[in-house]
Amino acid sequence: MPRYYCDYCDAYLTHDSPVVRKQHNSGYKHKANVKSYFTQFEETMQQRQLEAQIRARMVGGLGCVLAVHA
């Protein structure tokens, strides 16, 4: 019987049954691991958006400066 592997917890469940999976998925450590996993992507996306806004403002600011000096 194949064992269930949880990607978030990096662990195998020895008895692959719906009850065991449900118990594992409702556990504190599993929920914390899932939250950590998705927070990682959220922080990366926020950083990218911030960098894009900074670039847009820098380009916009440089365009104004170049127009004044031209």
Alpha helices in 1-70 (DSSP H): 18-25, 28-69
| Main-chain phi, psi angles of 4, to 5 degrees | -85, 130
**How many other CB atoms are there within 10 angstroms of residue 24's CB atom?**
15
Q: How many residues belong to the chain? A: 70
Q: How far apart are the first and last CA of the chain?
A: 75
Predicted local confidence at residue 43, as pLDDT:
85
Q: Low-confidence residues of the chain, pLDDT below 70?
A: 1, 61-70
Does the domain made of 4-69 have the CATH classification 3.30.1890?
no
For residues 48 and 46, what is the distance between their CA atoms, to the nearest angstrom? 5
Mean model confidence pLDDT for the chain: 84
- pLDDT at position 1 is 60
Domain positions in the chain are 4-69
pTM exceeds cut of 0.75: no
Task: Report the pLDDT value the prediction gives residue 67, as an integer from 0 to 100.
Answer: 46
